[in-house]
Amino acid sequence: MAVRVNPKLIDELEYFGAQDVIKCYHCGNCSATCTHSDEVFVFPRRSMRYLQMGLKTKLETSIEPWLCYYCGQCSEQCPLGAEPGESMMSLRRWLISRYDFTGISRKFFKSTKLELLFVILIALLAGIGFLFYGFGHGDIHVYDGANAFLPSHFIHAFDLWLAAAMFLFLGMNIFRMWYFIMIKSGGVHIPWWLYIKKFYLLPWHFFTQKRYAECESKIKSKVFMPWLVHLGLMLGYVIMLVLVMIFLHRLQSGPEIDWSVHALAYLATVGLLIGTIYMVKGRIKKEQVQYQKSQGSDWIFLVLLMIIVVTGVFQHICHRLGMEMIANITYVIHLMAVVPWLLRMPFTKWAHMLYRPLAMYFAGIRKNALVLEKEGAPISQPIRQAA
Amino acid sequence: MKECKIGVYVCNCGTNIAKVVNVEEVVESLGKMDGVVVARSYKYMCSNPGQEMIVQDIKNLGLNRVVVAACSPRMHEPTFRKALENAGINPYFLEMANIREQCSWVHDDAIEATEKARVLTSAAVRRVKYHEPLEKRSVPMCPATLVLGGGVAGLAAALELGDAGQQVYLVERENRLGGNVGRVDLTAPYLDSARDLLTEFITRANQNPKITVMIQSKLVELGGYVGNFQARVEDAQGDIIELAVGSVVVCTGYKEFDASRIKSLAYGWLPNVITSFELEGMIRKGKILTKEGNVPQYVALIHCVGSRSLEYHPYCSRVCCMTALKYAHEIKSAIPKSYVSDVYIDMHAFGKGCEDFYRRSTEAKTMFLMYEKGHPPRIREAGPDDDCGMFIWVKEQLSGEEIEIPADLVVLMVGMEPREDSEAVAHLVNISRDKHGWFIESHPKLDPVATTTDGVFIAGACSSPKDIPDTVAQARAAAARILAKIAKGEIWADAVYAEVDEDLCSGCRVCNELCPYTAVEYDKVKKRSHVIYAMCKACGACVAACPSGAIKARHFTDQQIFAQIEGVLPWHSNHVS
């Protein structure tokens, strides 16, 4: 069955940042230079071709964009300035919008204004909500304890609701990702036990971000630093999330420092701070290929994160110094940034934090399945071809 | 006959000859032959000291015949003839023995090769005794030129000649000048208007008093020879006009491939499958529409229709790739919301400005899809639920996928092929055609506008597919060749040609049809044939065929050839040594 080309898809992908993919004439330099490209997952060239031809199903079910960590070597090698690295980036954005069943993601990528509006609206709602609760139940002059302006048991309950909403959305997206990559793409029969055999890949890649460090560059430091910063940012976030979700009351206690939680929190804060500054600097200086083409969405993420880290640190200091009212006001601002920042996660690039290790997991399974098939393992069902 | 004093000169050609042939042995043996006054060898006989050796021997020893045993006469016969002329004797008193190409280069047995060299040289010595002094002759050059075809090639040639003040007869079959370029809207890659290019040419041609434009006219007969052709042209009224011209430029161009021959493309069956020229017509009218009158959303351009295929034409038609890119631009600017697919085999963008044009086309979001040579696209009608009228099936090479391309309008980039009348034209002006029907040039690289018939030139797409710049360059090159001949004022013919002894000729006319150069003419009054020496190439066909033995080839008389044969016969060679 012949696949239908869709000349319109390339127009849509432009919204996601694929401005130059049309220039590609398929010399293959990009795939040759990429350390992650192998005999099973050939990229970026193949993805570039699918993109040019508008083979929507092929793209939707492809895993390759997630295997690219955007070191920028391909874009540097490209003789036509077709920006394969940026094209892969835009494909990741597009895939995020495809995984998202609500259609919100697509709207955000198409319009930064809309996303900004969403962020501001949620921030205002959150702000009003928290102030309303605070003035109704607590005392603006109390930061900690039962009479606190925003007591930890309330925030904790709120966190759980927020987490439930996020996991609902993300869970649906992950299900769709799994369906696209593992079922709809077809091509190979996947025995169920491979899901168990290869499961270790998920935490392994999540906590090490190993692939990022494997990107090749002539200057090793060019890869090492971004990887370290990226890892620091990611781990910082995860640690902070765990601390907030479980030990919020201890984080807020004071004025003396509770080293059992604060030691980790400081470490995480340093990771987040360095990561954010590094990325903002990179996007302003535009020296590295991967930071040269920022979308509005990227800036929203970084600015919100910056606000979150700064207000987080500031309220902590104020509370230690006994400036409870200022600490409470900062806390509200902090939450006004945190809520939209978390809520937009399933719909924006930020979701790659989960999709990337998942993709490594799925890729490992598919590769293993292919090996089994080659070795002549019985095929229990006919190989499906992608429609 | 005066006593023959022969000089024999054997060349070493560096080591080319000397490494196989024992040159000294040949010299020694030849020196003993009857009539040979001197026999010498030299490292390079064609060098200035080598030639000077011959000149001095002629002057000092009174030589009246010279034999040079060296390379092929095609290489250095003119060199040594010149040496004889410089020494004051008739250049045709020279004979060459080819002991390089026909001996040292093809043999490795030194003894046998030396014997062969000796035999070939002794044959030359025997022949040269019968050589006669010959003189070159000249014929006057008529400065007028007949240009066949009023397309861009014919116009360029006519203008070049007319601007130089020479009479031109520009004969065009159709009722307008401009040819195929006149059917085109814009030109690739700079998107200049074809009409503007032509208007200037046509206006200048019509205004030039030296250019006689004859539309709706055709050549019906061409007689005579270089410098002195008689052309009979039938004009629009059916009258025959006799023209005296010195040269002919054939600029008859091409016709487009008939796309209906390729069944899978559905041309002539699906109404919205059109040829490139039909699209040009739409663009010139200012409206690109489907047959139903709708603005097409998806337009597909299919390359190499009839070209680069073993089934139809194996050659590349050269202009279609850039023309397709031009259409992509024109369609995008006429219908900004349209999607253009370009279905090609290889993108040939070799001309000036063409690669850049290709780059700009990709940036204009033309979707390039590569199909495999020998697997032409297949076109089918779309269903009622599809948002397009047709689908084009292609095995896409860059992705490896079998794909279907949506299309509302399919444009077939039809290739070029020789016109139906190319055989008749070739026959009229006596030039040859290749296996495809294109006119053949004298030399594909070094003499691209001349033909095997002196005075008849070819320019433009009648000799092979060509774009406008190459066509114009060829036309002007042909004009330059003609102007050079006109400037000389006369045509020198070689002294070697066939002659008819009219006393012996019976007027049987066997030779008339046989001559490949139409150099034999029959005199109806005298009832005898005679050779037009300016056209004769001295091939000898008529000499061999004449039942009365009335035709003699100068420089190739029976006596000369028999003497040479005797020279190579072993009995005679043994007899000599």
For the domain that residue B504 is a member of, what is the CATH number? 3.30.70.20
- Is residue B401 domain-shared with residue B280, that is, in the same domain? yes
Q: Are residues B398 and B448 in the same domain?
A: no
Do B271 and B311 form a contact (C-beta atoms < 8 A)?
no
| Bridge partner residues of B247 (DSSP) | B145
Contact between residue A143 and residue A327 where contact means Cβ atoms under 8 Å apart:
yes
Domain boundary among the residues B490, B515, B545 is at B490
Query: What number is the average pLDDT over the span B150-178?
Result: 97
CATH assignment of the domain containing A153 = 1.20.950
Any chain A CB within 8 A of the CB of B403? yes
Q: Among all residues of chain B, which has the CA nearest to that of A385?
A: B401
CA atoms of A227 and A229, how far apart (whole Å): 5
Assess B339–A contact: CB distance below 8 Å, yes or no.
Answer: yes
Contact across the interface for B363 and A4, Cβ inside 8 Å: no
| B333 and B449 part of one domain | no
Q: Classify residue A4: in a domain, yes or no.
A: no
The more confident residue out of A140 and B410 is B410
pLDDT score, position A385: 47
Is there a single domain that holds both residue A191 and residue A240?
yes
CA distances to A234, A297, B208 from A111, in Å: 27, 9, 65
Report the pLDDT value the prediction gives residue A216, as an integer from 0 to 100.
63
Residues of A in contact with B401 (CB under 8 A): 2-3, 53, 55, 58
Nearest CB to B367; choose among A4, A53, A58: A53
Residue A57 within any structural domain of the chain: yes
Contact B362 A58 (CB under 8 A): no
Are residues A385 and A1 in contact, defined by beta-carbon separation less than 8 angstroms? yes
- At residue A287, the pLDDT reads 78
A59 within a domain of the structure (yes/no): yes
CA nearest neighbour of B186 among B276, B291, B274: B276
Which band of pLDDT confidence, cut at 50, 70 and 90, is reported for residue B1?
A: low
Residue of A nearest to B402 (CA): A2
Band (pLDDT 50/70/90 cuts) for residue B567 is confident
Q: Provide the whole-model pTM.
A: 0.80
Distance from CA of A11 to the nearest CA of B (A): 9
- For residues B444 and B548, membership in a common domain is answered with no
Dihedral sign, CA of B472, B477, B478, B479?
positive
List beta partners, residue B305. B414
Query: Which SS3 state, helix, strand or coil, does residue B534 take?
Result: coil
Find the CB nearest B393 among A2, A25, A54.
A2
**If DSSP codes are grouped into helix, strand and coil, which group holds residue A3?**
strand
**CATH label of the domain that carries residue B288:** 3.50.50.60
The chain B residue lying nearest A58, using CA atoms, is B401
In a domain, A310, yes or no: yes
- Least CB-CB distance to B401: which of A8, A25, A55? A55
For residues A33 and A62, state if they share a domain: yes
Which stretch of DSSP H or E encloses residue B170? strand B168-171
Residues A130 and A76 in one domain: no
Residue B409's pLDDT is 97
Q: Is residue B481 part of a domain?
A: yes
**Domain co-membership, A90 together with A115:** no
What pLDDT score was predicted for residue B534? Answer: 84
Backbone dihedral region for residue B241 (phi beyond 0: left; psi -120 to 50: alpha; all else: beta): beta
Hey, are the CB atoms on A5 and B367 less than 8 Å from each other? yes
Question: Does residue A198 fall inside a structural domain?
Answer: yes
Shared domain for A354 and A249, answered yes or no, is: yes
Q: Does B297 touch chain A (CB under 8 A)?
A: no
Tell me the per-residue pLDDT of B322-334, one tens digit each, with 9 for 90 and over: 999 999 999 999 9
pLDDT at residue B437 greater than cutoff 60: yes
Residue of B nearest to A82 (CA): B363
Within this chain, do residues A183 and A315 fall inside the same structural domain, yes or no?
yes
Chain A partners within 8 Å of B368 (Cβ): 25, 52
Has residue B201 been placed in a domain?
yes
* B457 shares a domain with B400: no
Q: Do B398 and A26 count as a contact with CB atoms less than 8 A apart? A: yes
Residue B406 has pLDDT above 90, yes or no: yes
* Interchain contact, B399 vs A23, CB within 8 Å: no
Mutate to test the interface with B, among A23, A47, A50, A53 (most CBs of B within 10 A): A53
Contact A97, A16 (CB under 8 A): yes
- Domain with B231 in it: 145-253+419-490
Picking from B339, B359, B404, the nearest residue to A4 by CB comes out as B404
Total domains present in chain B: 4
Asked whether residue B205 falls in the same domain as residue B334, the answer is: no
**Are A139 and A235 members of one domain?**
yes
Q: Which residues in chain A are contacts of B328 at CB distance < 8 A? A: none
Mean pLDDT score across all residues of chain B: 94
* Residues B155 and B128 occupy one common structural domain: no
Q: Which of B298, B391, B403 has its CB closest to that of A53?
A: B403
User: Is the same domain home to A38 and A60?
Assistant: yes
Q: Are residues A75 and A146 in the same domain?
A: no
Number of structural domains (chain A) is: 2
Point out the residues of chain A with pLDDT beneath 70. Answer: 216-222, 254, 377-387
Contacts of A3 in chain B (CB under 8 A): 401-404
For B332-348, give the DSSP string. Answer: HHHSTT-EEEEEESS--
Assigned token pair, B562: 């028999």
Q: What is the DSSP letter of B528?
A: E
Q: How far is CA B519 from CA B136, B219, B267, in A?
A: 17, 20, 48
In this structure, of A287-296, B200-209, B285-294, B444-453, the range with the lowest mean pLDDT score is A287-296
Chain A contacts to B (CB-CB under 8 A): 1-5, 7-8, 10-11, 22-23, 25-26, 46, 49-50, 52-55, 58, 80
Contact at CB, B403 and A5, closer than 8 angstroms: yes
- Residues of B in Cβ contact (< 8 Å) with A8: 339
For B:426-445, CB contacts with A below 8 A are none
Residue listed under structure tokens 């090769």: B113
One domain for residues A241 and A317: yes
**What is the C-alpha to C-alpha distance for residues B186 and A336, in angstroms, rounded to an integer?**
61
B393 with B451, same domain: the answer is no
A284 in any annotated domain:
yes
Q: Which residue has the higher pLDDT, A381 or B173?
A: B173
Return the percentage of chain B with pLDDT > 90, whole number.
89
Let me know whether B467 and B402 are in one domain.
no
Alpha helices in A192-295 (DSSP H): 193-197, 201-208, 210-214, 220-252, 259-285
Q: How far apart are CA B520 and CA B536, in angstroms?
A: 8
Minimal CA separation from A14 to chain B, in Å = 11
What is the tens place of the pLDDT at every residue in B499-519?
999 999 999 999 998 998 888
Contact B403 A52 (CB under 8 A): no
Strand B186-187 and strand B192-193: the pairing is antiparallel
Strand partners, B395: B402
Burial of A311 (0-12, 13-18, 19+ CB in 10 A): buried
Q: Is residue B558 part of a domain?
A: no
Cβ atoms B407, B388 nearer than 8 A: yes
Query: Residue B500 and residue B203: Cα distance in Å, rounded?
Result: 50
Whether residue A272 sits in one domain with residue A161: yes
In this structure, the answer to whether residues A152 and A50 fall within a common structural domain is: no
User: B575 lies in a domain?
Assistant: no
Task: Please indicate, yes or no, whether residues B280 and B338 belong to a single structural domain of this protein.
Answer: yes
Radius of gyration of chain A (CA): 23
The verdict on residue B574 lying in a domain is: no
> Within a domain: residue A382?
no
* Final residue belonging to a domain, choices B109, B134, B159: B134
A1: which 2 tokens?
A: 């069955």
Of A8, A11, A50, the CB nearest to B399: A50
- Give the separation between CA B462 and CA B455, rounded to whole angstroms: 17
Nearest Cβ partner of B365 from A10, A25, A80? A10
Helix axes A45-53, A84-99, angle to 10 degrees: 60
What is the spatial distance between Cα A342 and Cα B16, in angstroms, rounded to a whole number?
A: 89
Residue B177 region, left (φ>0) first, then alpha (ψ -120 to 50), else beta? beta
pLDDT tens digits along A66-75: 999 888 889 9
Please check whether residues B499 and B429 belong to one and the same domain: no
Tell me the residue range of the domain where A247 lies: 104-361
What CATH number has the domain bearing residue B83?
3.40.50
Domain end point (choices B490, B507, B525): B490
Which residues in chain B are closer than 8 Å to A49, comparing Cβ atoms? Answer: 398-399
Q: What is the DSSP string of B128-153?
A: HTT------EEEE----EEEE--SHH
In A256-290, which positions are buried (b, 16+ CB within 10 angstroms) versus exposed (e)?
eeeeebbebbeebbebbbebbebbbebbeeeebbb
B577, part of any domain: no
Contact A53 B363 (CB under 8 A): no
Q: Coil, strand or helix: which one is A23? A: helix
Give residue B571's pLDDT band: very low, low, confident or very high (50, 70, 90). Answer: low
The sign of the dihedral angle between the CA atoms of B525, B528, B529, B533 is negative
Q: What is the pLDDT of residue A253?
A: 77
Could you identify the residue written with the tokens 């809207």? B185
Q: Please check whether residue B399 touches A, CB under 8 A.
A: yes
Q: What is the pLDDT of residue A248?
A: 86
Which residue, B115, B116, B77, B117, is CA-closest to B96?
B77
Chain B hits for A4, CB-CB cut-off 8 Å, are 391, 403-404, 406
Give the residue ranges of DSSP H helices in B168-304: 194-207, 276-285
Q: Do B403 and B264 fall within a single domain?
A: yes
Reported as type and span, the H/E element at residue A154 is helix A152-178
In a domain, B570, yes or no: no
Q: Which residues pair with A374 in a beta bridge?
A: none
Q: Are B402 and A2 within 8 A, CB to CB?
A: yes
